[in-house]
A and B are shown apart, each in its own frame.
Chain A
Amino acid sequence: MAQSTFLDANELVLNMGPQHPSTHGVLRVILKLDGETVTGTECVIGYLHRGVEKIAENRTYIQFAPYVDRMDYVAAVSNGLGYCLAIEKLLNIEAPPRAQAVRVILTELNRITSHLLWLGTHALDIGAITPVFYCFRDREEALKIFENYCGARLTTHAFRIGGLQYEVYDGFEQEVRAFCDMFIPKVDEYEELLTNNRIWVNRLKGVGVLSGEECKEYGVTGPVLRASGVKWDLRKAQPYSGYEQYDFEIPTAQNGDTYDRYTVRMEEMRQSVRIMRQAVDKIPSGPIMAKMSKVVKPPVGEAYVSIEAPKGELGYYVVSDNSTQPYRVRVRPPSFVNLQALDRMVRGGLIADVVAIIGTLDIVLGEVDR
């Protein structure tokens, strides 16, 4: 009888999302459950698909730059940097030192805003409401610097191919320094709220463990990889935009669980402040735009450039056919690749931990679906 088979079946299929508040966007996860235990998952993505890579083929190189901000909208500046570096490699030019220093400051600031948004929403998923207010309060200060610099807060379009469009405004250095001084005590404050909190620790320790080997198999990058004990950061491994001049550590942790990913990201924010302090002290003077023709028309060829975005390795592969429009643009988004590991991480765990694991992966669905 149909009913008895239903009652006998020990697998329950549950649909989570796409409107679930804890999936950080429009991710749909089909969970297979045995009681409280998750026995399998299936991710359904594509609800936010806009065909960004196809749009690129119908825009000139300069015109496509604002679109990359709309992939990982939480870290728009990093996206812009990756794209600009890829086209600069095709054109065989390099941004002047002054532009590079300002680029480093803004991308590190963007790393902080991205991690703050992650921290707030992740804590909110676990059940701690307070951190989200503090995170957004401090994120606001960083967004004000973006707004003063380029006129937009989220989808900034801050960099142009070959350098910068805008010269820094008066008081930029002071504002960045003030932010650095303000921010370090705030990180300690978040840590005070969460690091020793027994609910936080019990919910995160030993949840979603991913070993370093597994990370490499899945191609997982960014803080998730570093929390598994692999010391890999593209800023050190293949420095771009002058990162080799700055002195900073790559924070790592050993266990590869959700708690370690939290500590790694907290430490990363401190390191970002360290880089910003060094960079702002010695912004070289000089031009902000490389010498290049107004019409961007790279020679036939291809280029792949990857940078360390807040979420992991962000790569741009651009093919040029010597016209003003790219022949093909392919984006390697960190969120999309990291999301693959979700199944491995939640399998065998409890259903309540699924929310914690989606939070800790720090995905942005605009980037997963593109």
Chain B
Amino acid sequence: MVKLLKTIFLWDLLQGLWVTFRNQNPKYICTEQYPSERPKVAERYRGAPRLNINPENGETLCIACNLCALACPENLIVVGSARNEETRRKELSYFTYDTSRCMFCGLCEDACPVDALELTQDFELASYTRDGAIWDRQMLEEGPKPSKYLS
């Protein structure tokens, strides 16, 4: 009898609708208004790469050891070095990083002995063209120009 009444009055459907109704509570709203409100990504987030510079004298931290290039599964890092004739030390001459092929696995970051290469929290890497996907040393040191979605 109870079962019949439950069937007639669509009890099972009402039960489901009640769940939906309970979830109307503004407490459960979790939409992010993305371009106007930036989400805060985790501290360890693996995003856009950066080549750190020594904040005191503005010199690069990279010692041109080539370990990151060897660690990368995609072989997308190219490190160029030249011997400085005065100090007899190897110095970084150029550094390119192809963000279009990178899968942000973090192996290069782990390999770097002096923490010069770092994957940062910047996540807005999408672009309409492939131009500029290969980052040179200057771009890696300064970081990407923040894109503006809302004026």
Question: Are B73 and A134 in touch, CB under 8 angstroms?
Answer: no
Contacting residue for B46 out of A70, A152, A194, A196, CB 8 A: A152
Question: Main secondary structure on chain B at its contact with chain A?
Answer: loop
Chain B: minimal CB distance from A87 (Å): 15
Verify if A218 is at the interface (C-beta below 8 Å from B). no
Contacting residue for B44 out of A70, A130, A140, A150, CB 8 A: A150
Stretch at the interface among A44-52, A56-64, A362-370: A56-64
CA A194 – CA B16 in complex, angstroms? 7
Known A-B contacts A151-B119, A193-B16; A63 and B107 likewise in contact (beta carbons under 8 Å): yes
Contacting residue for B73 out of A66, A150, A196, CB 8 A: A66
Contacting residue for A197 out of B12, B23, B42, B72, CB 8 A: B12
CA A47 – CA B121 in complex, angstroms? 33
Contacting residue for A63 out of B13, B41, B71, CB 8 A: B71
Verify if B45 is at the interface (C-beta below 8 Å from A). yes
Question: What are the residues of chain A within 8 A of B15 when measuring CB–CB?
Answer: 192, 196
Known A-B contacts A67-B73, A137-B30; A192 and B16 likewise in contact (beta carbons under 8 Å): yes
CA A63 – CA B76 in complex, angstroms? 13
User: CB-defined interface of B105-140 with A at 8 Å, one 1/0 digit per residue?
Assistant: 111001000000001000000000000000000000
Q: Which residue of B lies closest to A150 (CB)?
A: B44
CA A174 – CA B110 in complex, angstroms? 27
Verify if B63 is at the interface (C-beta below 8 Å from A). no
Question: Are B45 and A151 in touch, CB under 8 angstroms?
Answer: yes
Verify if B103 is at the interface (C-beta below 8 Å from A). yes
Verify if B20 is at the interface (C-beta below 8 Å from A). yes
Question: Are A157 and B73 in touch, CB under 8 angstroms?
Answer: no
Question: Main secondary structure on chain A at its contact with chain B?
Answer: helix
Q: Which residue of A lies closest to B121 (CB)?
A: A151
Question: What are the residues of chain B within 8 A of A66 when measuring CB–CB?
Answer: 73, 103, 105, 107
Q: Which residue of B lies closest to A294 (CB)?
A: B111
User: CB-defined interface of A112-142 with B at 8 Å, one 1/0 digit per residue?
Assistant: 0000000000000000001000100100100
Known A-B contacts A193-B16, A196-B12; A147 and B41 likewise in contact (beta carbons under 8 Å): yes
Chain B: minimal CB distance from A232 (Å): 33
Question: Are B12 and A148 in touch, CB under 8 angstroms?
Answer: no
Question: What are the residues of chain B within 8 A of A151 when measuring CB–CB?
Answer: 42, 44-46, 106, 119
Q: Which residue of B lies closest to A190 (CB)?
A: B19
Question: Are A147 and B45 in touch, CB under 8 angstroms?
Answer: yes
CA A189 – CA B21 in complex, angstroms? 12
Question: Are B20 and A169 in touch, CB under 8 angstroms?
Answer: no
Known A-B contacts A148-B44, A150-B44, A166-B44; A63 and B16 likewise in contact (beta carbons under 8 Å): no
Q: 4 new A-B pairs (CB below 8 Å) besides A155-B105, A169-B44?
A: A63-B107, A64-B73, A155-B103, A196-B15
- 10 cross-chain pairs, A with B, having the tightest CB-CB distances, nearest first: A66-B105, A63-B73, A151-B44, A151-B46, A196-B12, A147-B42, A148-B42, A193-B16, A157-B105, A151-B45
What are 18 A-B pairs with beta-carbon distances under 8 A?
A59-B73, A66-B73, A66-B107, A70-B103, A130-B16, A148-B43, A148-B44, A151-B42, A151-B46, A151-B119, A165-B110, A169-B44, A192-B19, A193-B19, A196-B12, A197-B12, A197-B16, A198-B12
